[in-house]
Structure 1
Amino acid sequence: MPEQPEQQAPPVQRLRIRYAKRGRLRFTSHRDFSRAFERAIFRARVPMAYSSGFNPHPRISYAGAAPTGSASEAEYLEIGLAEAQDPAAVRAALEEALPDGLDVIEVVESAGGALADRLEASHWLVDLEATPEASATAVEAFLAAEEVLVQRMTKKGLREFDCRAAVVRLAAEPRDAGSRLDLVLRHGVPSVRPDDVLAGLAAAGGLETEGAPLLTRLAQGPLDPATGEIGDPLRG
């Protein structure tokens, strides 16, 4: 009879973590971040729970990761621990172990349910090298459209989808070197990203930009359908 893998005990505590990607660390891919985080867990001596099977791995669940190249103040993950810990102590230890630019903002005990289910929408700022007038005109045309089709290359090939339906709020305002978009996106399938909305603004309103836009996620969490505001996924 083949040898059976060791069965690990279930976690005794689950912690939810909010962290930020800032500065040059916004170019960290999700894979690179997960490696850096696991190394930080080890250096910080956090007593992780492990999965069962022939290749046990630490119980870490990632949710709603921002695209590579995006800055973010609202990235989330959940860890399972083999021993109960003070969340504040875990935050301090991880903050010390992670590189500057990957910054732990908050650690709380899990309130139950799936963390991913609470991440219903995201609030983005998109800084563009485009005139405020051109941005405002494109936004007006985009919002007036019932459907805006864009294309994106995926693992299954080129895909066409509507990016308009996911936009809860979109406004343009001037900034020093161009314009800024204030954008709230509803999460769904297909997942619509800020760069998809930029493609939609070009398609619907003829928006032309120079250089790469700077994307910053300010928040993600439960969406209030009445107000379009995003709540805190670590509460409730």
Structure 2
Amino acid sequence: MSGSRRVPEGPAPDPAVQKLRVRYAKRGRMRFTSTRDFQRALERAVRKAGLPMAFSAGFHPHPKISYANAAPTGAASEAEYVEISLTRAMDPHEVGPRLDRGLPEGLDVIDVADVTAQPGALADRLQASLWAMRFRAADRGPEVLSALPGAVDELMGQDSYVVQRMMKKGLRDLDVRAALLDLTIQPSGGPVAGAEVSPDDVVVLAAVHHTTPTVRPEEIWTALRAVSGQDLPRPLSTRLRQGPVLDSGVAEDLSDAVV
């Protein structure tokens, strides 16, 4: 029939019967991987693991994988999330090791949870992040870093603090202060994501509400440099947690909320 809509030939894809939420880490050199790099790596790992993936319908079926709020390139993370849909139910404790073996070193599966019965989209639950921003004394010297406590107090005392980010359509204003739920100095001597920190380093913990666009550690560093009046070194940033926002204003780890 003229003008009729084409439909793919063959049987419809098997329906999804299970949804698994995977928490993974970006460590070491893998912090420089882009979102697209990870997507390709995960799809290869899924094939190697032989998981019964659910696929979309249409002329170009693709695996049903949900990505949301990936850490920016150059930042490490202990709390990245992705959801995969399967056509056959599997034990999450079995899926985790199988996926991990197929991923390159530094992209590490931490845990897998069955969230089939949980309503809503993954992105809706990723409301905030807790970042550890490690300023290394070896980059500028402890004298420069001594300005950080005052800079943190100064920034949190503002009603608004706008910095700019270059976007595809040009410079865009971002209100760093409006996105900050909390900003504190971690007591010296404590590790960050399991790694030891030099006693002269300063670690700033930033709880950040996910605005649109999301304020990144880069913008927080820019604001702290400005209010401190010091040439603060670029920090090594690691996302520690990601999830819903508690009444206290701190991000709750998403895996704790569903496991």
Shorter-chain TM range is over 0.9
For residue 242 of structure 2, the aligned residue among 220, 226, 230 is: 220
The whole-number CA distance in structure 2 between the counterparts of 1:205 and 1:43 is 50
What is the letter of the counterpart of residue 159 of structure 2? E
Residue 224 of structure 2 is matched in structure 1 by 201
- Contact persistence 1:142–1:205 (CA under 8 A): no
What is the letter of the counterpart of residue 122 of structure 1? S
The whole-number CA distance in structure 2 between the counterparts of 1:155 and 1:47 is 38
The whole-number CA distance in structure 1 between the counterparts of 2:216 and 2:100 is 29
Q: How many residues align?
A: 234
Q: How does 1:59-138 map to 2 (within 5 A)?
A: 59-110=64-115, 111-129=118-136, 131=142, 132-138=145-151
The whole-number CA distance in structure 1 between the counterparts of 2:235 and 2:129 is 17
Structure 1 position 3, deviation (Å): 3.7
TM value normalised by structure 1: 0.93
Question: What are the Cα deviations for residues 125-182 of structure 1, in whole angstroms up to 9, with x where unaligned?
Answer: 1011454421112112111111111000112211112110111111235553432111
Residue 33 of structure 2 is matched in structure 1 by 28
- Contact persistence 2:181–2:250 (CA under 8 A): no
Structure 1 position 40, deviation (Å): 0.3
Structure 1 position 53, deviation (Å): 1.3
Q: What is the DSSP-based 3-state SS (H/G/I as helix, E as strand, rest coil) of the residue aligned with 2:94?
A: helix
The whole-number CA distance in structure 1 between the counterparts of 2:67 and 2:207 is 21
- Contact persistence 1:148–1:203 (CA under 8 A): no
Q: What is the DSSP-based 3-state SS (H/G/I as helix, E as strand, rest coil) of the residue aligned with 2:147?
A: helix
Question: What are the Cα deviations for residues 43-81 of structure 1, in whole angstroms up to 9, with x where unaligned?
Answer: 010110001111111000011210111111000010011
- Contact persistence 1:134–1:207 (CA under 8 A): yes
Q: Which runs of 5+ in 2 are unaligned?
A: 189-197
What is the letter of the counterpart of residue 73 of structure 1? E
- Contact persistence 1:115–1:233 (CA under 8 A): no
Larger strand fraction of residues? 1
Structure 1 position 38, deviation (Å): 0.3
- My pick for the range that moved more, 131-140 or 146-155, is 131-140
| Aligned structure 1 segments of 4 or more residues deviating by more than 6 angstroms | none
TM value normalised by structure 2: 0.85
- Contact persistence 2:71–2:77 (CA under 8 A): yes
Q: What is the DSSP-based 3-state SS (H/G/I as helix, E as strand, rest coil) of the residue aligned with 1:164?
A: helix
What is the letter of the counterpart of residue 208 of structure 1? D
Check 1:207–1:188 CA distance in 2 against 1; reply closer, same or farther (3 A cut). Answer: same
C-alpha RMSD over aligned residues: 1.7
Identity of aligned residues (%): 48
Structure number with greater Rg is: 2
Q: What is the DSSP-based 3-state SS (H/G/I as helix, E as strand, rest coil) of the residue aligned with 1:165?
A: helix
Residue 184 of structure 1 is matched in structure 2 by 207
Question: What are the Cα deviations for residues 79-137 of structure 1, in whole angstroms up to 9, with x where unaligned?
Answer: 01111111111111111111111111111111232121111111111011454421112
Q: What is the DSSP-based 3-state SS (H/G/I as helix, E as strand, rest coil) of the residue aligned with 1:55?
A: coil
Q: How does 1:33-44 map to 2 (within 5 A)?
A: 33-44=38-49
Q: How does 1:147-186 map to 2 (within 5 A)?
A: 147-173=160-186, 174=188, 175-186=198-209
- Contact persistence 1:44–1:93 (CA under 8 A): yes
The whole-number CA distance in structure 2 between the counterparts of 1:88 and 1:200 is 42
